[in-house]
Each structure stands twice: as C-alpha cells, then as structure tokens.
Amino acid sequence: MSSEPLPSAIAFFDVDNTLMRGASLYHVGVGAFQRRFISMRDILSFGWKQARFVAVGENRAHLDSVRERALEIVVGHTREDLMRLSHEIFDRKLVRRLWPETVAVAREHLEAGREVWLVTATAQEIADVIAERLGFTGALGTVLETADGVFTGRLVGSVMHGGNKADAAEARARGAHVDVAECWAYSDSHNDIPLLNLVGHPVVVNPDRILHRYALARQWPIMLMKPSSIKAAVRASKKRQTRGI
C-alpha cells in the first residue's frame, strides 16, 4: 500500500492557449515535417490553422480536421518515436511559447500540496512530455491506439474534448479521493465550460468571446496575458543560461 499522502485538491489545466500560446500540435507537426513524416501541403495547413487559432480561439471543425490528419501521420510510427519527437519539440519550440503567468500559477498549486494535471485534446504522449518537463503530476490526453507499440491511426475512446474533459477530471478526482468542489480548472475555450462548471474554482485564461461573456456573468476570475510576457520570460531564461545559473 502506497504511503504517498493524498492531495488536498487538484488543479486541471488545458494546454493550448491556456498553458501555452497557440496549438501544441502545430509545433509537433513542424517537427514531423522536418523528419519527413508529413508533406509541405500538410504543414501549410497546420500553419494556417495555428494562425487562426491564435487569432480567434478554438474552432471545432478545424481542430477535428487537424487531429484526423495527425492520426494519419502517426500510422506506422511507434510510441517511442512520438515521445522522442515530443521531447525535441518541447525543448526547441514549446518552452518558448509557455505563458509564464499560467506556469507560475500551476507551480503555486504544487507548492500548496495540490496535484496539477493537464487535460487536453492533444495526444497522450505529447501531453505526458509537457507535464513531465514542467514537473506536473500528470496528464489526461487523447489516447491513440497502438498494436505491438505501433500506432494504428485509430483512437482508444474519444478525443479528450468538451464534456469528455469534465468526465476525465471527475474520475481523476474521485480516484484521488478529492472533492471536485475543492478543485481548480483553467481554460481559454468555451468548449471547456463543462470542466469549468465541474470544479469549485474555475478560472478562465485569455478567454474566447463566448467564454468571456460566460465568465463575466458568473463572476469567475479572468487571467489576461500579453505575448510580451512570453518574450520577457524567454529573454530572462537566456540571460540565466549565459550566466550559468
């Protein structure tokens, strides 16, 4: 029997446009193109959808088409391939797109004895790498089917999106014997309203228009950040590296 203390609560974080600016899948797609997993046509499509996602927020039709293409891309590759690619992309791209304010809040939760879980539509392997590299507790992502360690191009269950996020978060809290009323959730998208409504402490982060109106009506806390904060954090990190800190 484990002697690990139970968490006092759990903080659930969306990834795209909440923990980081833009879509993590786009940057993984760029890395896949560089390794000849995908074509120039694919990467141009990824790029257009990334630009739109940053500008106007999550669009379900576009996300669905990107994820369907992503499933095709990983066919024939192994889980180890995707994990290796994800580590490389985190170091080269994702770490420079993290919102420092959101990451700081997540670390405050950890310091307070709470677990921090990512809840994201991105592939479980990519979500695992992000959580691991940031020192978070874990991740709940979309599970891709494998056969003998090789991706088949099919899903196990459904995409971790909308109400599925709330279901997964509730199950995680129940497994940790934590009351969801004591938990937090952070997201930018109105598609995550079920998750935000589940917990006792919902927080919206750079929300889309629908979620912004919804949050104002319920007097939920709203975190608003500017890209300049990311640039400042990157500059500070480079200075620390130069000084050997």
Residue 88 pLDDT level (bands cut at 50, 70, 90): confident
Residue 240 pLDDT level (bands cut at 50, 70, 90): low
β-strand 184-187 against 144-147: which pairing, if any? unpaired
Given a cut of 70, whether residue 214 has pLDDT beyond it is: yes
Look up the CATH number of the domain holding residue 65: 3.40.50.1000
Does residue 4 lie within any of the structural domains? no
Q: Residue 8 has what pLDDT?
A: 86
Q: CB-based contacts of 218: which residues, under 8 Å, 6+ apart?
A: 202
Does residue 103 lie within any of the structural domains? yes
Q: And the tokens for 228?
A: 């300049």
Does residue 151 lie within any of the structural domains? yes
Given a cut of 70, whether residue 7 has pLDDT beyond it is: yes
Given a cut of 50, whether residue 74 has pLDDT beyond it is: yes
135: DSSP letter: T
Does residue 142 lie within any of the structural domains? yes
pLDDT tens readout for residues 137-150: 999 998 888 999 89
Active-site position among 16, 42, 188, 192: 16
Does residue 197 lie within any of the structural domains? yes
Does residue 115 lie within any of the structural domains? yes
Does residue 171 lie within any of the structural domains? yes
Q: Residue 63 has what pLDDT?
A: 53
Q: In terms of C-beta distances under 8 Å and separation of at least 24 residues, what long-range contacts does 89-94 make, across chains too? A: 89/27, 89/28, 89/30, 89/31, 90/129, 90/130, 90/133, 92/31, 93/27, 93/30, 93/31, 94/20, 94/24, 94/27, 94/130
Is 14 labeled as catalytic in the residue annotation?
yes
Q: Cα torsion at 63, 69, 75, 80 (round to 10°)?
A: -50
Minimum mean pLDDT range among 7-11, 31-35, 48-52, 67-71: 48-52
- Its sign, for the CA torsion 227, 94, 206, 179, is negative
Query: Which domain, by its residues, includes 25?
Result: 10-243
Beta-carbon-side half-sphere exposure of residue 180 (alpha carbons within 13 Å): 19
Give yes or no for a contact between 222 and 207, defined as CB atoms under 8 angstroms apart. Answer: yes
Is 188 labeled as catalytic in the residue annotation?
no
Does residue 238 lie within any of the structural domains? yes
Domains of the chain: total:
1
Active-site position among 14, 42, 128, 208: 14
pLDDT tens readout for residues 160-205: 888 999 999 999 999 999 999 999 999 999 999 999 999 999 999 9
Give yes or no for a contact between 15 and 24, defined as CB atoms under 8 angstroms apart. Answer: yes
Quote the pTM value. 0.83
Given a cut of 70, whether residue 56 has pLDDT beyond it is: no
- What phi and psi values does residue 133 have, to the nearest 5 degrees? -70, -25
Which residue bears the tokens 């903080």?
A: 11
